[in-house]
Every structure is written in C-alpha cells, then in structure tokens.
C-alpha cells in the first residue's frame, strides 16, 4: 500500500460513524479505536507504567498531528498487544480504519503540550501473511535428534576423558545468592557475565565465579510458577547455556561430573546419574541417554554493558564462609589467549581462526555457521542471513563482547529484514515493518510489539570447540 495514500485514508476515515468503530473496538480489547477526531488507546506502556490515553487529531495538519488530551494511569494492565511509548516514538500495533486494521507510529513533536506527528503506517499483515505456510524449526538439540545409543553411549566413550577432579570436585552452586550491592560483588566494568532475562527477572552470573563452579542450579518464575533451571559455563570451551529442568524429576539439579568430551563440560543429573554433553545439549549416557532439555536464551556481555542495559539486575555472589576460592584470579593462566588445549579434542586441524577466538555459532540441520565476535561493529552490527533452510538475524557488538542469533521468520511465515539501532541498548534493531527489537529477540514497539523471535540452536564458544563439535562450519563473512 502506498503510504502517502494511506495517510490520506486515515484522515478521511474521521468521517466514519463512531458506532461502527466502537463495535470494531469491542472485538479487540487492546486495539486503538477512532471516534470522530479522537483516538482512544486502551493501554499504552511507558517503561514499567501503563496508561489509558486519548489522542485528539488536530484539524488541517499534514502529516497528521495529534495532541495527548487525556492520560490515566492503570494498575495490573496487560501489556500484550498494547501500544508502547519508547524514546520519542509511540507505536500503535493495531487501529481499525474503515473495517481494516493498521499499525501506526507517531513521533513526539513537543512535550508541553504533548503533541505527536504520524510518521509511518501500514496495513497490518498486508502482503506478509502466507496461508498454510511451514517455517523451518530449530533442531531439538545440537546433537543428533534421533541419536543412536551404542554400548550405552551416544558418543564414542573413548573420546570422553577424565578431567581430574572427579564428580563434584568442581562444586556446583545449589543455593545461589544474588545481590544488588555491586561493590559487594566486586564487579569490574570489563568483566564478562552471563546475562539471563526471564520476564521481569534479570540476573547476571560472572565468569569469574563460574570459572570455579561451572554450574548454578537456580529457580525462575514462569507465569507465576517457580521452575528449576540449570545454567552452565565451561571455561575450557567458553560456552554458556541455560536449561529448564524436567518436571518429572524428583531431583532436578545437575552437578559437574569431572569428565570432558571435546574438552567440554560433561554434566550429570543427580536423579539418575546420566551424563550430559553441554555443547551437544543432550544426555550421552545413562538412563536419560538421548534426552534433550528445554533451552532458554542467555546473553554473554561485559558487566558494564549489562548493567547499563538492565540497572535492575541482580548479580550472583558467593558468601566468604561458603567457598574459599581465589575468585579474583583466573584459574587457567594464559589459557584464554594462547593456543593451548588442556584435554583431548577429536579434531584440532581447523586453523582458520585462532583457537580461542570467541564465535557466535549456530547449527541448522547439517549446516553450521559462526560469526566471530570481533568482526561485529563496535556499537552494534545486524546481519540478515540464511543458514541451511533457515532465515536468521545475527546481532552483536565487538566492544561489548556479545552476540545472539534468532530465526527471523515469524509464525505467520513473514521473513523480516533488520537494521541496527545504535546507542539505545538493549534496543538494538528495527525491522522493515517499523518494529523495534531488543537483545533477547522481543519486539518492544511497532506493529509486532510483544512478539518473540524464535530461539535458535546457537551460543558463543571458542572456535576450536565449535570446529570440533561441528566440523566444516562456515565462517561469516
């Protein structure tokens, strides 16, 4: 649809009978309703607050200008499908005009009085919905989805080596403590952390603590119900992953087995004693062999960047009386920067990158691709790409040391194209429909507000480990 024509249509739609618009509005509780020259917004989110807002269209303005004539604060309002105000942009995901639904964006012209101007609009879903479509879905795990068990093992047992400390010789944290006193936690801006955001729960797990513990058995609330999770970090392969525990387990916790596969952490579950490969994200031995956990997104970045994006975060801390490790010292010497590998790896022949290059890797079926973190722009890069049969978007920053990759094809089979947004983290990209998205793949404004991009089989690891687990991986660019 021609946008100039659409703006004219929206202006002429003011002649539409208010009763018809009211009927349309009743069908969509969060949908904006046009009554005469007034646009009623049932819910508008502004940060953590929600408001019922009324906009009055100013006669004779082109492009269309509106004045905020009423704003009433709401309590316990659902943000699903709501309009949102982020920065200077008001995004209305759905407004009915002449029986057709549109999205619209308004930019702030003045704060006193609060006046906005229509900057963009489009028919909701126009030209984007494919009927009876099927989008490519991520594989269940990074290992074989139908893994074969041979002599009790999913991988060759000869390739599993003893790292030395024995089961629980590296102690997992089973009762994690968190603090908002960041001085007490001893954090430095350049420290790397594993960031987790589930709903409004925001937590950071410092590498310097995970180097000594590797596993944290934690809990998060999902829709008001407390659920068990396990976050793991392998300092030998530089990989961090978050798994939701199984509801049918009496003991949902994991421990460090002391074994390694391709120099990577092998966990064991405390209920059955089964062994789990971290990077394959699959049980590789024992009663649970071939079982696959439900995976959640993590974001590794610098503490300074994480704190700037999520000042409400809590950070993992260790009580002095609980453990006596020298957390201020990295336990593996020059390992993070040299070419050494401390334990057996099935294949170390791929030298296209330095062995300890941190790469954001993704697997799609038999296809694998990596995006070196150092190749991203300093502020933020966005790469619209295709891996195997999946359209993906990769976003990252070299200075803030992060990377994430999502499926950019939505459930309705729309394939979005993204561009970077600089200096607004955690908002990092905008799509071709005008929606803005954060680092966890959530649309924060625009016609897709509230939509979650699908998680992929992806995480950050050292290059040597990724090349060993997924030989022949393509390197971008």
Measured at the alpha carbon of residue 453, what is the angle toward residues 448 and 455, in degrees to the nearest 5?
Answer: 170
Q: What is the mean pLDDT of the chain?
A: 88
Residue 127 has pLDDT above 60, yes or no: no
Q: Which residues of 54-89 are buried (b: 16+ CB within 10 A; e: fewer)?
A: bbebeeeeeebbbebeeeeebeebeeeebbbbbeeb
Reading the block at residue 262, the tokens are 């391709």
Q: How many CB atoms lie within 10 A of CB 242?
A: 22
Q: How many CB atoms lie within 10 A of CB 171?
A: 16
Residue 117 has pLDDT above 80, yes or no: yes
Residue 330 has pLDDT above 70, yes or no: yes
Q: Answer yes or no: are the C-beta atoms of 408 and 455 closer than 8 Å.
A: no
Cis peptide before 477 (omega within 30 of 0): yes
pLDDT value of residue 158 = 96
Give 424-451 as a DSSP string: -TTEEEEETTS-EEETTSBEEESTTTT-
Q: Answer yes or no: are the C-beta atoms of 457 and 236 closer than 8 Å.
A: no
Residues 271-309 have pLDDT tens digits of 999 999 999 999 999 999 999 999 999 999 999 999 999
Taking the C-alpha atoms of residue 425 and residue 146, their distance in angstroms, rounded to an integer, is 39
pLDDT value of residue 413 = 86
Residue 133 has pLDDT above 70, yes or no: no
Instruction: Give the percent of the chain with pLDDT over 70.
Output: 91
Residues 149-204 have pLDDT tens digits of 999 999 999 999 999 999 999 999 999 999 999 988 889 999 999 999 999 999 99
Residues 253-262 have pLDDT tens digits of 999 999 999 9
Q: Regarding predicted confidence, which is higher, 30 or 314?
A: 314
pLDDT value of residue 128 = 39
Phi, psi (deg, nearest 5) at residue 46: -135, 100
Bridge partners, 118 (sequence order): 106
Residue 19 has pLDDT above 70, yes or no: no
Of the candidates 66, 35, 70, 36, the residue with the CA atom closest to the CA atom of residue 54? 70
Residues 218-252 have pLDDT tens digits of 999 998 999 999 999 999 999 999 999 987 888 99
Under 8 Å CB-to-CB from 360, ≥6 apart: which residues?
370, 371, 372, 373, 394, 396, 403, 404, 405, 458, 459, 460
Under 8 Å CB-to-CB from 388, ≥6 apart: which residues?
136, 364, 365, 366, 367
Region 323-343: mean pLDDT is: 95
Reading the block at residue 160, the tokens are 């599993």
Region 399-425: mean pLDDT is: 95
Under 8 Å CB-to-CB from 97, ≥6 apart: which residues?
9, 10, 13, 16, 34
pLDDT band for position 29 (cuts 50, 70, 90):
low
pLDDT value of residue 140 = 83
Q: How many CB atoms lie within 10 A of CB 249?
A: 14
pLDDT value of residue 57 = 94
Of 338-342, 412-416, 460-464, 470-474, the one with minimum mean pLDDT is 412-416
Of the candidates 300, 301, 261, the residue with the CA atom closest to the CA atom of residue 278? 261
Region 396-413: mean pLDDT is: 95
Region 423-436: mean pLDDT is: 96
Furthest C-alpha separation in the chain: 79
Region 361-371: mean pLDDT is: 96
Q: Regarding predicted confidence, which is higher, 298 or 17?
A: 298
Domains of the chain, with CATH numbers?
Answer: 3-123 (no CATH), 157-317 (no CATH), 358-475 (2.102.10)
Q: Answer yes or no: are the C-beta atoms of 284 and 262 closer than 8 Å.
A: no
Give the strand pairing for 314-317 and 201-206: parallel
Q: Regarding predicted confidence, which is higher, 392 or 98?
A: 392
pLDDT band for position 14 (cuts 50, 70, 90):
very low
pLDDT value of residue 4 = 39
pLDDT value of residue 113 = 87
Q: Regarding predicted confidence, which is higher, 363 or 82?
A: 363
Q: Regarding predicted confidence, which is higher, 119 or 2?
A: 119
Reading the block at residue 49, the tokens are 């607050």
Q: Answer yes or no: are the C-beta atoms of 230 and 245 closer than 8 Å.
A: yes
Residue 8 has pLDDT above 70, yes or no: no
Query: What's the predicted TM-score (pTM) here?
Result: 0.74
Under the phi-then-psi rule, with left for phi > 0, alpha for psi from -120 to 50, and beta for the rest, what region is 468?
A: alpha
Under 8 Å CB-to-CB from 100, ≥6 apart: which residues?
123
Region 62-78: mean pLDDT is: 86
């Amino acid at each position: 649809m021609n946008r100039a024509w659409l703006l004219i249509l929206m202006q002429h739609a003011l002649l539409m009978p208010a009763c018809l618009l009211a009927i349309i509005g009743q069908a969509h509780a969060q949908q904006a309703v046009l009554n005469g020259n007034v646009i009623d917004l049932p819910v508008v989110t502004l940060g953590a607050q929600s408001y019922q807002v009324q906009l009055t269209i100013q006669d004779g303005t082109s492009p269309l200008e509106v004045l905020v004539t009423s704003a009433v604060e709401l309590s316990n309002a659902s943000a699903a499908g709501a309009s949102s105000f982020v920065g200077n942009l008001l995004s209305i995901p759905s407004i009915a005009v002449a029986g057709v639904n549109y999205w619209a964006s308004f930019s702030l012209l003045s704060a006193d009085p609060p006046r906005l101007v229509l900057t963009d609009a489009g028919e909701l879903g126009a030209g984007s919905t494919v009927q009876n479509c099927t989008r490519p879905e991520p594989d269940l795990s990074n290992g074989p989805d139908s893994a074969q068990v041979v002599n009790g093992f999913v991988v060759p047992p000869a390739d599993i080596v003893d790292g030395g400390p024995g089961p629980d010789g590296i102690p997992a944290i089973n009762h994690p403590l968190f603090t908002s006193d960041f001085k007490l936690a001893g954090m430095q801006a350049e420290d790397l952390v594993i960031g987790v955001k589930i709903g409004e729960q925001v937590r950071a797990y410092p590498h310097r603590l995970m180097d000594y513990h590797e596993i944290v058995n934690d809990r998060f609330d999902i829709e008001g119900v407390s659920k068990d999770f396990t976050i793991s970090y392998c300092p030998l392969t530089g990989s961090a992953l978050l798994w939701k525990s199984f509801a049918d387990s009496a003991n949902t916790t994991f421990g460090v087995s002391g074994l390694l596969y391709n120099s990577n952490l092998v966990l064991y579950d405390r209920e059955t004693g089964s062994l789990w490969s971290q990077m394959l994200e699959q049980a590789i031995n024992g009663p649970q062999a071939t079982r696959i956990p439900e995976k959640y997104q993590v974001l590794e970045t610098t503490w300074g960047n994480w704190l700037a994006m999520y000042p409400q975060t809590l950070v993992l801390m260790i009580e002095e009386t609980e453990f006596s490790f020298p957390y201020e010292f990295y336990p593996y010497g020059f390992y993070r920067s040299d070419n050494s590998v401390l334990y057996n790896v099935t294949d170390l022949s791929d030298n296209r990158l330095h062995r300890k290059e941190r790469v954001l890797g993704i697997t799609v079926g038999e296809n694998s691709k990596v995006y070196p973190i150092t190749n991203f722009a300093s502020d933020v890069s966005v790469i619209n790409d295709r891996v195997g049969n999946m359209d993906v978007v990769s976003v990252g920053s070299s200075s803030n040391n992060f990377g994430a990759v999502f499926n950019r094809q939505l459930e309705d089979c729309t394939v979005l194209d993204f561009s970077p947004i600089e200096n607004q983290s955690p908002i990092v990209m905008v799509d071709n429909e005008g929606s803005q998205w954060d680092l966890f793949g959530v649309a924060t404004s625009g016609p897709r507000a509230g939509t979650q991009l699908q998680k992929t089989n992806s995480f950050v690891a050292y290059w040597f480990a990724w090349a060993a687990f997924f030989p022949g991986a393509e390197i971008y660019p």
